[in-house]
Amino acid sequence: MYLVSAEQMRLIDKITIEEFGIPGRVLMENAGREAVRIFIKTFKKGVNKKIAIAAGAGNNGGDGFVIARCLLFYGWDVTLFLFSNPKKIKGAAKNNFKLLESLDISIIVADTPKKFNNYKKIMGTADIWIDAILGTGLKYQVKEHIENVIEYINSLKKPIFAIDMPSGLNSDTGLPNGTSIRADFTVAFGLAKTGQKLYPGAKYTGKLKVADIGIPPHVIKKAAVKTRLITADYIKSEFLQKEPDAHKGDCGHLFVIAGSEGKTGAAILTAKAAVRSGAGLVTMAVPESVNRTIESCVTEAMTCPLPETSKKIIKIEAFNIIKKLLKGKNCIAAGPGLGTENNVKKLIYGLIEASEIPMVIDADALNAISENPEILKKAKAPLILTPHPKEMARLIKKDVRYVCEEKMDAAKKFAEKYNAILILKGAGTIIAMPDGSVFINSSGNQGMASGGTGDVLTGIIAGFVSQGYTPAISAIAGVYMHGAAGDAVARKKGFAGLIASDIIEALPYEIKKYEIG
């Protein structure tokens, strides 16, 4: 599923109208009729309910006018509340408003705070609300009058069906512009909007349906849409079954550099996840004093104890040993539980410059890079970075709030600048590619917000790279499978108490669903 920004959607509409030749009024009619079809299917038993349509003066309101007319023709009890001055209605929206004036439909104009207060009681009698106040182009704070309207409709606790975009929600960032309708259902026209799949926008959007309103596929291609939602169908198209005569050497060899005293769990989880993701061989480079602990916990992996500092962290003197160990390996996973001494920074910098195989960088390795991100430009091989918002903030020298509010833009700019794949973890994890394309994940749940799940993700991605999947596909599939395994666990155990090890155990069962012969 492609996702578009407000600007891209405007361009797509413009090309469709001006170059392809479908009039704007036809697109509005198509949009309204498709919304009605989806609305009736959603509320099959609601024909005897009171339907209230909240409309503005723009094209979103115009869609609402078409919906009001069509629902009336189907026998539904409809009241239209117009929260803008009718004189401001223009173009195709104006044409559709005039059609309503000749019909037996209740139209209430509440374009001022006083009128709005007078009609609150009537508004409260509605059973279902259709939101057509503001559209996808809103960039600024919602004005006070509309803000009060939105908050009142939300307070009624009635089902809300939003048209194209919940009013007040930013189409690009998924952030409320001051306030936003909290929809139970949203129908997006032509294409889903990026903000509908980014959090918190996904919560305001509710269940999303995309309506075909007649935009030709070649127009979407011409608009160069480069953002996609990762879905099960997309993942299935990329997975391959292992050959019947495959041996462990055919399935890749991962080299994990992780662990230190007190943080052996991170290294263990990474290695176990890599094994469960299908990696043929895993070798773990760890401080010598924790080697026995790790060896006893990951029986399927090999270990290589390395010289350590007094704080039980790998010494920089081990670098030459590590370079020799990289021979015959297909991928490096570096960082989980590695520690924060200066040794770690030197080791990671050296690996970035010297490695000729892809490298998945997480946790303490990210902290080391945050002191000098320019080191990434010296890499010979593909890099995949997996920061959470705090780690991302350190990488780009911004505060966490900025990262959370501008996450897609921040990830995209970083990936392009440093020619790396950037995975910004969280609800709706973002994967930004060096070529400017962005993927937003659709799997995962709140139960996965617990220690160790990030280490598991590192292991899965690195395990896929080791098996021969491209770094891009490994990142996309790794993030999706990580979330899908977490969802499988949550369905059985619930969200509370979901732990990283649960995800590892569920992983092969999820992968099995997507393997094809």
Q: How far is the C-alpha of 164 from the C-alpha of 211, rounded, in Å?
A: 9
CA atoms within 13 A on the CB side of 509: 12
How deeply is 238 buried, as exposed, middle or buried, from its count of CB atoms within 10 A (0-12, 13-18, 19+)? middle
C-beta separation of 395 from 374 below 8 A? no
pLDDT number for residue 246: 74
Q: How far is the C-alpha of 208 from the C-alpha of 185, rounded, in Å?
A: 6
pLDDT (tens digit, 0 to 9) for every residue of the chain, 517 residues total? Answer: 999 999 999 999 999 999 999 999 999 999 999 999 999 999 988 778 999 999 999 999 999 999 999 999 999 999 999 999 999 999 999 999 999 988 989 999 999 999 999 999 999 999 999 999 999 988 789 999 999 999 999 999 999 999 999 999 999 999 999 999 999 999 999 999 999 999 999 999 999 999 999 999 999 888 889 999 999 988 887 776 667 767 777 789 999 999 999 999 999 999 999 999 999 999 999 999 999 999 999 999 999 999 999 999 999 999 999 999 999 999 999 999 999 889 999 999 999 999 999 999 999 999 999 999 999 999 999 999 999 999 999 999 999 999 999 999 999 999 999 999 999 999 999 999 999 999 999 999 999 999 999 999 999 999 999 999 999 999 999 999 999 999 999 999 999 999 999 999 999 999 998 875 4
Q: How far is the C-alpha of 331 from the C-alpha of 457, rounded, in Å?
A: 15
Q: How far is the C-alpha of 71 from the C-alpha of 207, rounded, in Å?
A: 21
Alpha carbon of residue 188 to chain centroid: 17
C-beta separation of 89 from 57 below 8 A? yes
C-beta separation of 412 from 432 below 8 A? yes
- Neighbouring-strand partners of residue 82: 55, 109
Phi, psi of 51 (to 5 degrees): -105, 125
User: For residues 389, 429, 414 and 435, what is the CA-based torsion angle, rounded to 10 degrees?
Assistant: 180
DSSP reduced 3-state for 449: coil
pLDDT number for residue 517: 43
CATH number of 2-225, picked from 3.40.50.10260, 3.60.21.10, 3.30.70.270, 3.30.70.20? 3.40.50.10260
Single-letter amino acid, residue 206: G
Rg of the chain over Cα atoms, rounded to whole angstroms, equals 27
Which fold is adopted by the domain 235-514?
A: UDP-N-acetylmuramoyl-L-alanine:D-glutamate ligase (3.40.1190)
User: For residues 60, 61, 63 and 67, what is the CA-based torsion angle, rounded to 10 degrees?
Assistant: 140
Q: Compute CA distances 329 → 249, 332, 358, whole Å.
A: 10, 8, 10
For the chain, the straight-line distance linking the first and the last C-alpha, in angstroms and rounded, comes to: 25
* Residue closest to 30 by CA, chosen among 163, 211, 160: 211
What is the b/e burial string over 42-80, where b = at least 16 CB atoms within 10 angstroms of the residue's CB?
bbeebeeebbbbbbbbbbbbbbbbbbbbbbbeeebbbbb
pLDDT number for residue 104: 87
C-beta separation of 338 from 260 below 8 A? yes
Q: DSSP alpha helices (H): ranges in 157-288?
A: 201-205, 217-222, 232-236, 264-276
Token pair recorded at residue 138:
């809103």
Tell whether the torsion through CA atoms of 212, 217, 223 and 229 is positive or negative: positive
Q: DSSP alpha helices (H): ranges in 91-200?
A: 91-101, 113-123, 144-155
Question: Domain ranges in the chain?
Answer: 2-225, 235-514
Q: What is the DSSP letter of 188?
A: E
Q: How far is the C-alpha of 413 from the C-alpha of 189, rounded, in Å?
A: 28
